[in-house]
């Protein structure tokens, strides 16, 4: 508990919500074990000189005049040391290895290894993560509806873990303590096997106790089951919204991100093409905060909650997600330029959950957008 003169109980949320942004600075300094976060977006701005978007980000982080968490100019995390780069993670789908069984059915197999690993979640801010296959989030597992899936799980971590998949499966494949293989101890392993169903966007995560910590440490990933006939072609990407309680206090997270690294997509905007269909697989893996959100600037998207229907429920620019909620978002960008996306739980945006799409392509529209890109769902391929 942080104590300030005249302040009985104080935490990050109260400070940020209470409009005392100036006072938030010393708190952030104390909560985050290193000072590298100070000028992150100033760094992005310096690196992206001439980009209106990056300057806009800097202003947003500064909250319109007062100071906020930023990073030193030019700094970024060491992606090589982390062993993963959120830019590459976006479009990295792990289809595993397949073979056809005598029955004609496809068997799809993966090996996931749990481990302990220090990762840099913002410049100079390291976090003792627990990982699947060395990364946070774990690999995006992707399969087709009806296939037989087999996931070999090896625990090379110093703590007992499991893998619990969302989806339909027998009780003994549920990856919870006390049922089936139960907890997998250090050096142990098991194999989970079930049918890929229903189609949609799901997730997997460790289910050992204390559950919130085992998830928050990094043991989660996206799990995509494609419909039998697939989805219309698009530039596809995975965004796992997460956060880090870097000092393990009772007050929750100090940093927020998409795919782990705070402000990563401010430093490295996501390149997409004008009028080209974009499909985002969005998963909320955030612990300790009950609500997360996604908002896009200068655009709207079709919202497919859980991805279990091919008909969108809404055409919007902002959605909310509770823990483990996920959705498929489909959109096209009608204009070139830099467009911000961020949590509209805006305190998260200023603590790392913010990025840009850099929309390239011809400035003048060459042709009418394809049906997929038509605004609203009227023209969507069904």
Q: How far is the CB of 158 from Cu ion (least distance, A)?
A: 11
User: What is the closest distance, in whole angstroms, from the C-beta atom of residue 183 to Cu ion in the complex?
Assistant: 9
Alpha helices in 73-165 (DSSP H): 79-82, 86-90
- Chain residues binding Cu ion by CB under 5 A are 161, 206, 208, 214, 219
Q: What share of the chain is helix, strand, coil (3-state, %, to 5)?
A: 20, 35, 45
Task: Please tell me whether residue 285 adopts helix, strand or coil conformation.
Answer: coil
How many separate helices (H) and strands (E) can be counted in the chain? 9, 23
For Cu ion, the closer of residues 19 and 187 by Cβ is 187
Between residues 76 and 242, which has the closer beta carbon with respect to Cu ion? 242
Q: How far is the CB of 225 from Cu ion (least distance, A)?
A: 23
Minimal distance, residue 205 CB to Cu ion, in Å: 8
Query: Is-contact 213 205, C-beta < 8 A?
Result: no
Min dist CB 113 to Cu ion, Å, is: 13
What strand order describes the sheet that includes 200-205?
93-94, 140-144, 220-226, 200-205, 164-165
SS3 for 184-223, per residue?
ECCCCEEEEEEECCCCEEEEEECCCCCHHHHHHCCCEEEE
Q: How far is the CB of 67 from Cu ion (least distance, A)?
A: 37
β-pairing, 292-296 with 270-273?
Answer: unpaired
Pick between residue 206 and residue 296 the one whose CB is nearest to Cu ion: 206
C-beta of 42 vs 287, nearer to Cu ion:
287
Q: Which is nearer to Cu ion, 158 or 233 (CB)?
A: 158
| C-beta of 244 vs 333, nearer to Cu ion | 244
């Amino acid at each position: 508990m942080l104590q300030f003169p005249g302040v009985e109980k104080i935490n990050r949320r109260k400070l940020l919500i209470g409009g005392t942004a100036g006072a938030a600075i010393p708190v952030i300094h104390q909560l985050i074990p290193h000072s590298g976060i100070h000028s992150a977006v100033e760094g992005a701005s310096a690196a992206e000189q001439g980009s209106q978007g990056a300057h806009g980000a800097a202003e947003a982080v500064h909250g319109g005049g007062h100071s906020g968490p930023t990073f030193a100019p030019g700094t970024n995390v060491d992606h090589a040391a982390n062993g993963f780069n959120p830019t590459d993670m976006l479009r990295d789908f792990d289809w595993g290895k397949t073979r056809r069984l005598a029955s004609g059915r496809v068997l799809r197999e993966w090996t996931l290894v749990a481990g302990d690993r220090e990762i840099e979640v913002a410049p100079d801010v390291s976090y003792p993560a627990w990982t699947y296959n060395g990364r946070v989030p774990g690999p995006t597992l992707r399969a087709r509806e009806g296939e037989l899936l087999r996931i070999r799980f090896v625990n090379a971590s110093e703590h007992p873990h499991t893998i619990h998949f969302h989806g339909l499966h027998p009780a003994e494949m549920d990856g919870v303590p006390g049922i089936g293989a139960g907890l997998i101890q250090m050096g142990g392993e098991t194999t989970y096997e079930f049918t890929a169903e229903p189609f949609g966007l799901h997730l997997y995560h460790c289910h050992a106790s204390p559950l919130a910590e085992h998830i928050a440490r990094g043991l989660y990933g996206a799990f995509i089951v494609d419909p039998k006939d697939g989805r219309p072609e698009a530039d596809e990407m995975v965004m796992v919204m997460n956060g880090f309680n870097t000092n393990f206090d009772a007050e929750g997270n100090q940093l927020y991100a998409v795919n782990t690294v705070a402000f990563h997509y401010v430093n490295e905007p996501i390149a997409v093409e004008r009028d080209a269909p974009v499909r985002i697989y969005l998963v909320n893996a955030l612990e300790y905060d009950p609500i997360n959100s996604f908002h896009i600037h200068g655009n709207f998207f079709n919202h497919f909650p859980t991805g279990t229907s091919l008909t969108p429920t809404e055409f919007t620019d902002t959605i909310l997600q509770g823990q483990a909620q996920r959705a498929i978002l489909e959109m096209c960008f009608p204009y070139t330029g830099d467009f911000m996306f961020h949590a509209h739980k805006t305190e998260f945006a200023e603590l790392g959950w913010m990025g840009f799409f850099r929309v390239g392509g011809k400035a003048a529209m060459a042709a009418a957008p394809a049906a997929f890109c038509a605004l609203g769902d009227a023209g969507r391929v069904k």
